[in-house]
Amino acid sequence: MSQDKISKRRLMLVGTGFVGMSFAYSLLHEKGIDELVLVDVNEDKARGEAMDLADGLVYADTKMKVYAGTYADAEFCNIVVLTAGAAQRPGQSRLELVKINANITKGVCEQLKANKFDGILVVANNPVDIMTYVAWKASGLPKQHVIGSGTVLDTARLRVELSDLLGFAPSNIHAYILGEHGDSSFVSWTNSFIGCKSLLEYLDENQIDLMQLQNVYIDVRDKAYKIIDLKKATYYGIGLALKRIVSAILNNERCILPVSSYQNGEYTKYGYFISTPTVVGSDGATQILTLPLNENEQNRFNNSFDTLVKTINENLGDIIDLD
């Protein structure tokens, strides 16, 4: 690792669309970043976004340098955030984007590999669990150094919905969306807590109908579709979710986030990426926490995992090596 890379905290953002620039804008309030490099297939767009963002630095909480660059800058970056890809259209599922974005992801990661990137890669294009797998295959990076944004945003939505229902601060609600960042996701209600109090016990003691939890889940699962119908895209929420992941890496927080991480038998599954509670720090996704799922929850996890594997096997054989 070069001395320049050790002495500076340098990030690269690949993709300067709405999601990428929402993330980039959020970094104006993240201290300790030295440089942010913007890369896009549309080089003029990257230059314009860099100029526009830099204009606000005098009023920001950071002194970072923002500029448009190329993949040649990747060798000296600690983290690359990949948001380049086709956006989800109204009525379209995330899984339907798979071939288009797999080719884009593969191309980006081959460029990173060719330019000796050896940091942490954070993937945020959809379907993110599959794109994380593609990125790992194409980049040659260790599996713990490739992290998908997973269900970090879904989990934030879940905690807000539960906060509205129960009247507790979202920060005191500990519950996760697990599985695919998509329609086969689920909530492990048996591993959900208010503070250190079991959520299910709290509902029972306060005579709150358990069926309300299903309504909460449906609202969370379908929220992206509603936003896309109203404004054609979602980007602020995922931009801030990406900032949360990057902050955990930069500051070696070792916090637990439901990112898309490589499975090595923790939930009886192997070899692919899916969202599970994961310890995130400067070494990437270092540990997966195995929750005690009941039979129904394990079946839902199996279904979500198998849905991803089936989609990969049916669509990506001509794009990446599936062995």
* 181 compared with 3, residue with greater pLDDT: 181
Q: How would residue 105 be classed by pLDDT, with cut points 50, 70 and 90? A: very high
pLDDT number for residue 29 = 87
pLDDT number for residue 4 = 55
181 is catalytic: yes
**Best CATH choice for the domain 152-315 from the list 3.90.110.10, 3.40.50.300, 3.40.50.720, 3.30.70.20:** 3.90.110.10
Bridge partners, 252 (sequence order): none
φ and ψ at residue 81, rounded to 5 degrees? -110, 125
Cα distances from 228 to residues 30, 89, 100, 232, 304, in angstroms, run 28, 7, 19, 4, 23
Closest CA to 236 of 153, 125, 147, 159: 153
φ and ψ at residue 86, rounded to 5 degrees? -75, 145
φ and ψ at residue 317, rounded to 5 degrees? -60, -30
Cα distances from 279 to residues 146, 166, 275, in angstroms, run 13, 28, 12
Closest CA to 219 of 273, 300, 161, 271: 161
Q: Which of 29, 145, 174, 181 is catalytic?
A: 181
Q: How would residue 1 be classed by pLDDT, with cut points 50, 70 and 90? A: very low
Question: What's this model's pTM, rounded to 2 decimal places?
Answer: 0.94
In the block, tokens 């849905």 appear at 307
3-state secondary structure of 235: coil
Rg for the chain (alpha carbons), in Å? 19
Thinking of the domain 3-148, which architecture would CATH place it in? 3-Layer(aba) Sandwich (3.40)
Bridge partners, 281 (sequence order): 284
Residue % of the chain over a pLDDT of 90: 87
Query: Can you tell me the mean pLDDT for 30-39?
Result: 94
In the block, tokens 């993330």 appear at 23
- Give how far the C-alpha of residue 125 lies from the chain's centroid of Cα atoms, to the nearest Å: 8
Closest CA to 321 of 137, 109, 133, 110: 137
CATH 3.40.50.720 domain span(s) along the chain? 3-148
pLDDT number for residue 189 = 97
3-state secondary structure of 303: helix
Report the relative pairing of strands 278-281 and 255-257 from DSSP bridges: antiparallel
